[in-house]
Amino acid sequence: AAIRAAQPQQDQCRRWQSTDCNHFVDSGKIEPPTSPPPPLLPRARPFRLAVKDNIATADFPTQCASRILLGHASPFEATIVRQLRARGAEVVGKTNMDEFGMGSHSTNSIHGPVRNPLSEPDDAISAGGSSGGSAVAVMLGDADVALGTDTGGSIRLPASYTGAIGYRPSYGMLSRFGVFPYANSLDTVGLIAREVRPILDLLVDTRLDEEHDPNDPTSLSSATRQRCARACPPTLHDNSQLTVGIPLEYNIAELDPAIRRTWAAAASALQSAGVNIVPVSLPSTKEALCAYYLLAAAEASSNLAKYDGVRYGVRGSRGDASGDTLYSETRGAGFGDEVKRRILLGTYSLSSEAMDNYFIQAQKVRRVIRRDFDRVFRLANPLYEPAQFDLSDMAADMALEDKRGPAQVDFLLSPTTPSFPPRLRDVLQKSSLDAYMNDVFTVPASLAGLPAVSLPARTGENRLPVGLQLIGQYWDDKRVLGMAERLK
Ligand code: GLN
């Protein structure tokens, strides 16, 4: 019953094609919308909103850039879309992405790759992924704000490649009801815009961060929200009272020298503006990428099991097939290669023979990563009690004590990506592993559930933008955004 054919409206489709960036999904409005719009909040101001194609909308199909969901129109709307409509949003279209959010260049899509508007005429470069269409939509002025999802960097990476602001909220802050899950323990829905202000306004002026959603079991309760908010300073102090940490492990050999210089220049500029800059060590950083790709694939393999041609998704071609044949035909034809790869990887890592060596180890790494972050931030993580007497933790702490220094920073500053946007034709030739490498700086904050923003560095040195990432303690989102505004 959830599947209705979407009727493309010709004028809508033409509008999207005019820019040749393939950032909007070529599917027209469904008429009439399936539910009445929510009443406007007192502080609502009209704005144009682009919505990633894995977020359910009443007036457009939601297909996750996947063949298996072709023609799928959701019978309900995502909470975040309704919340933004109540704040004045008009949905202008659905944006292109990597299928189910799996990818780093918005190339794994039935609609074809998204092209970065900063490309030279004959040499298309990556717009980043998986929310590439959302970032391009705001950078071309087709939308004022765009919704994306960030599991391991899918908002920050496209923001970095296109010069946008990309905000990944604290895990559990913004409702994911109506957002097609990829890896539940990592998924967040967040915002992309050209400037920080429209995003900050949604949080500060219209209190988007305060709304619990009973439909999303991972949405923090009102009581916990209040407790977390009390744990964070309400406003951003003067620069002289702020400390920004430079995580030394992010200075990897593969980091592009121009990006390294831009990062250092941004730190110097902050220092000149009175901010204290200190080096910090997050020793578990180098394990984060492996842990992420194990956990994300494991959760994805479980999430995507529902697309079996019976309950959800377009059914495989042979009408008389049943059972395993029906499933394999449906999935074989409906999923793209990268999605299949993740399902196989994830299923393997959850199998009894591999579970202990892969999945369980990755969970342990995840805990250590969170602990690393908690140690360097001045604020305590409001979700967890201060360290209990855990002997193995204490031994690890002692071994690393001289490397780390005391907990003291308000924010961490790093590049968002280790390299500039690659050419699309190179991306299409390279292996998936190369694409995974681009997430090396974004996945640690994802694993720890922390808020992070990518913003374009002020630099005259390069033709292409360099994204800088600010990470903050859990629920310190407004100060992270405030700091991003100061830095931009
Ligand atoms: N590139 C990462 C992946 O493919 C991140 C994706 C995301 O954040 N949705 O898993």
Structure confidence at residue 210 as a pLDDT band (50, 70, 90): very high
Q: What's the pLDDT tens digit per position in 341-373?
A: 999 999 999 999 999 999 999 999 999 999 999
Distance 317 CA to ligand 1 centre (A): 30
Closest atom of ligand 1 to 438 CA is: 1
Conformational region of residue 40, where left means phi above 0, alpha means psi within -120 to 50, and beta covers everything else = beta
**221 counts as catalytic:** no
**Catalytically annotated residue among 74, 109, 154, 175:** 154
Does the structure's ipTM exceed the value 0.85? yes
State the Cα–Cα distance between residues 27 and 89, nearest whole angstrom.
20
Name the CATH superfamily, with its identifier, for domain 10-235+413-487.
Answer: Amidase signature (AS) domain (3.90.1300.10)
Q: Which residue has the tokens 């941004």?
A: 266
The whole-number pLDDT of residue 315 equals 80
For the ranges 28-42, 263-277, 337-351, the lowest mean pLDDT is seen at 28-42
> What six digits make up the tokens of 5?
């054919």
Quick one: which of 156, 181, 154, 9 has its CA closest to 78? 181
Quick one: which of 187, 178, 162, 147 has its CA closest to 52? 147
**106 counts as catalytic:** no
State the Cα–Cα distance between residues 327 and 486, nearest whole angstrom.
52
State the Cα–Cα distance between residues 232 and 479, nearest whole angstrom.
9
CA angle 63, 448, 223 (to 5 degrees): 85
> Best substitution site from 107, 182, 304 to test ligand 1's pocket, by max atoms within 8 Å of Cβ?
182
Residues with a CB atom less than 6 Å from ligand 1:
101-104, 130, 149-154, 182, 296, 439
* Helix axes of 477-487 and 257-272: crossing angle, nearest 10 degrees: 100
Q: What's the pLDDT tens digit per position in 391-449?
A: 666 565 555 554 555 669 999 999 999 999 999 999 999 999 889 999 999 999 999 99
CA angle 41, 485, 144 (to 5 degrees): 45
Closest atom of ligand 1 to 435 CA is: 1
**Three-class secondary structure of residue 85 per DSSP:** helix
> What six digits make up the tokens of 213?
């959603």
CA angle 471, 367, 383 (to 5 degrees): 65
Can you give the C-alpha Rg of the chain in angstroms? 22
